[in-house]
């Protein structure tokens, strides 16, 4: 990341507004035609920042939230922790599974390896908490995200009917049974 002057670091209390901005910008870029336009236009940075302030203030010890920073501002983040039961069921796993709750990179910084670096950082920290496998849910229509998860070896499951910000939208579970192997893949030069 040095060639792009990007720092990957743990979240800090003052990051909430930056996280909100990255999330909203990413949603507005990735979900046009997937979620209703009104839903995307109604996303509010201040409401999202309040939510992220709560998340950052209530991080549990088994959670990890990494931020990508360039020139003093957040340009991406990844948040993971213990898997929710519904996600473990979606990937047909018993026992503890780690979950990535969010992985967003500002659209103008995508394709530079920042998502890989964020995911590798969070995965390493979740391994340190004793997790061996990882799962996440992504919108079925998130073509860019799904290409990334396919490329890094994620096994896609069957779509799950969901409601996202009040709109019906199928989500697809992705699963990596070996987090150590995932980190090796993420650390390898992008092909």
pLDDT, tens digit, 9 for 90 and up, residues 112-151: 999 999 999 999 999 999 999 999 999 999 998 999 999 9
Which pairing describes strands 98-105 and 134-139: parallel, antiparallel, or unpaired? parallel
- Regions of the chain where pLDDT drops below 50: 1-2
pLDDT at 165: 82
Q: Where are the alpha helices (DSSP H) in 31-140?
A: 37-41, 45-57, 85-90, 114-128
pLDDT at 35: 84
| Token pair for 76 | 């991406």
pLDDT at 31: 87
Domains, the chain, ranges and CATH? 2-187 (3.40.630.30)
pLDDT at 4: 63
pLDDT at 2: 47
């Amino acid at each position: 990341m040095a060639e792009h002057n990007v720092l990957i670091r743990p979240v800090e209390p003052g990051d909430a507004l930056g996280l909100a901005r990255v999330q909203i910008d990413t949603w507005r870029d990735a979900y046009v035609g997937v979620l209703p336009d009104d839903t995307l236009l109604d996303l509010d940075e201040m409401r999202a920042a309040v939510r992220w302030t709560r998340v950052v203030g209530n991080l549990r010890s088994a959670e990890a939230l990494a931020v990508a920073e360039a020139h003093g501002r957040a340009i991406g983040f990844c948040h993971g922790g213990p898997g929710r039961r519904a996600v473990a069921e979606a990937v047909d796993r018993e026992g503890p599974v780690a979950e990535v709750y969010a992985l967003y990179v500002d659209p103008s910084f995508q394709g530079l390896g920042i998502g890989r670096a964020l995911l590798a950082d969070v995965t390493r920290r979740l391994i340190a908490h004793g997790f061996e496998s990882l799962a996440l849910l992504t919108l079925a229509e998130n073509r860019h995200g799904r290409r990334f998860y396919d490329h890094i070896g994620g096994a896609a499951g069957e779509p799950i009917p969901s409601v996202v910000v009040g709109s019906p939208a199928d989500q697809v579970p992705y699963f990596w049974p070996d987090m150590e192997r995932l980190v090796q893949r993420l650390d390898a030069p992008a092909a």
